[in-house]
Amino acid sequence: MTPTRRALFQGSAAASLIGAAPALASDLVPTGFDQIAKGPFKPNWDSLAAGYRTPDWFRDAKFGLWAHWGAQCVPEAGDWYARSMYMPGQPAYDHHLKTYGHPADTGFMDIYPQWRAENWNPDDLLDLYAKAGAKYFVAMANHHDNFDAYQSRFHDWNSVRLGPKKDIIGLWAKAARKRGLRFGVSNHSAHAWHWFQTAYGYDPEGPRKGERYDAFKRFAADGRGKWWEGLDPQQLYGGPVMPLPDGFDTIADANKWHEANDRVWSEKAPLNNPAFTRQWYLRCKDLIDSYKPDLVYFDNFDLPLEQAGLDIAAHYYNASLQWRGKLDAVINIKPHDAHRPGIVADVERGMRSEISPEPWQTDTCIGDWHYNRRLFEEKRYLPAAEVIHRLCDIVSKNGNLLLSIPVRGDGTIDSEERRIVEEIGVWMGRFSDAIYATRPWTIFGEGPTAVAAGMFSEGKQKPFTPQDIRFTTKNAALYAITLGRPEGGQVVVRSLAKDGGHAKGPVRRVTLAGDKTPLPLRQDRTGLHVTLPDGALHPFGIALRIDGVL
């Protein structure tokens, strides 16, 4: 660590031991770096809401793929490994004990050198993703484990110094832009200050009862002669701002305490650790300025850390105007309300029941967010057909789908994931004209299957049927997409019944999306009836282009 960087952060971890940390002095960063870019956007919600409009590239793209990839993928044991490995009774704790040793001896910081990305080929993966039809690609810049996957100027726990020893974000960005994809980053680190507090806990039961885990006893001075020499573990783990209190005798009670106290999903800045907020701001601004992303996804229900998040949003929008001569930037957060002016709302692992007046996004994953080998072995990934059906439903309601494909620690995806992505690409190659650059119709669709709407609701969603149809529009055409293989080669669109209330005129012509061959049709008071040749059918469903009704 250079003297300037040591001065920037010295004392924050030690101060947190007594419950306070001084703000960082602005003269310890390059002159003017901490200032937001000049422009029309001011760091308040009124300014963001008044001046922001979702850019056309995002509205037209509809489908993005995401690499939610970091050191937590190395154990291949699923989500939130770095937190759960410090919680006895959790599968991650058992896996860690068996595979790496007791968390008092081997902590999560010891996993970072094992994240080597030795088989990572971003060009190969981005070729696959572009062929699958993705129009934008998002890479995880950091997670709640507080490790930056880029050449971070303000955080030594980063992928250039440790683990892969590569600028992961920089290489992803180069590969994506080479293929004409818009590039985004996801930033999850605003919650690290409380999420990682389990690392300061202890076993409440068993042979090592009461012995504090590694984060409680590792400091910069202890690294001399070790792989982490020159690094301060407290800067990674966040300092013991709310460690598990002494005296717990049962696993159940300890884990209840964690759920009630250090899993505090608040977007407020931690009052007893202002240095964390200051450093988050500098790291995030560095990420934006260095890689000029088209999209920034925050894993937050509001802009992170109060004023710091508002400052970042205003800076990003003003900087985008400077880079490209127009506002081309997207910020995703997960507001509790359906829409929050000034950003693009995101619905994690869920959908919506009606057409939104403003563009929005669903983000989900075909498996666990962090790679889980068990899902591969048991073949329990989300099938390609369900991905396509959800995409069609989301697009019909003015939304985009951002889909994560879990990546192993070595940088590869497994054979099942590759097959799913390729199957998505086959359908998109035939019918994506009904997806890209479309806008909603007066109704989103028809059919018997209700949508389980809301955040984290996808587990309640019943499979769609061929009678479920979703509508999109482009120019003078209406598209009707069946969410399954049409039975008997027949499609009936009941919303286009003769003299019905939705169409402005009679159907003049029907073709398959992306094809010019007219299909046999009949329009009566029961609906529009279209006959399909056998070669036109697809097991996921088909998309019709309908002229004359708009």
Any domain includes 374: no
Indicate whether 334 and 456 sit together in one domain.
Answer: no
Indicate whether 450 and 329 sit together in one domain.
Answer: no
Any domain includes 361: no
Indicate whether 342 and 449 sit together in one domain.
Answer: no
Indicate whether 181 and 75 sit together in one domain.
Answer: yes
Any domain includes 39: yes
The alpha carbons of the chain give a radius of gyration, in whole angstroms, of 25
End-to-end CA distance of the chain: 64
DSSP state of 223: G
Q: Which of 326, 348, 370 marks a domain boundary?
A: 348
Any domain includes 340: yes
Q: Which residues pair with 331 in a beta bridge?
A: 296
Any domain includes 428: no
pLDDT of residue 225: 96
CATH number at 486 reads 2.60.40.1180
From edge to edge, which strands make up the β-sheet containing 490-493? 490-493, 527-531, 521-524
| Separation of alpha carbons 125 and 408, rounded Å | 13
pLDDT of residue 28: 66
pLDDT along the chain (550 residues), means of 10: 35 36 48 93 98 98 98 98 98 98 98 98 98 98 98 97 98 98 98 97 98 97 96 96 97 97 93 93 98 98 97 98 97 89 97 96 98 98 98 98 98 98 98 98 98 94 97 97 96 95 92 96 96 94 97
CATH number at 27 reads 3.20.20.80
Q: Which of 316, 348, 380 marks a domain boundary?
A: 348
Q: Which residues pair with 361 in a beta bridge?
A: 346, 400
Any domain includes 437: no
Indicate whether 137 and 286 sit together in one domain.
Answer: yes
Predicted TM-score (pTM) above 0.85: yes
The total number of structural domains that make up the chain: 2
Domain limits for position 488: 445-547
- Name residue, tokens 């983000």: 363
Indicate whether 336 and 449 sit together in one domain.
Answer: no
Any domain includes 354: no
DSSP state of 392: H
Angle at 218 between CA 216 and CA 221, to 5 degrees: 140
Indicate whether 343 and 471 sit together in one domain.
Answer: no
Torsion sign over Cα 89, 90, 96, 102: negative
Any domain includes 390: no
Indicate whether 201 and 344 sit together in one domain.
Answer: yes
pLDDT of residue 17: 38
Count the neighbouring beta carbons within 10 Å of the beta carbon of residue 264.
15
Q: Which of 296, 323, 348 marks a domain boundary?
A: 348
DSSP line for 258-325: HHHHT-----SPPTT-HHHHHHHHHHHHHHHHHH--SEEEE-SSSSTTTHHHHHHHHHHHHHHHHHHS
Indicate whether 110 and 248 sit together in one domain.
Answer: yes
| Separation of alpha carbons 38 and 36, rounded Å | 6
Angle at 489 between CA 485 and CA 494, to 5 degrees: 80
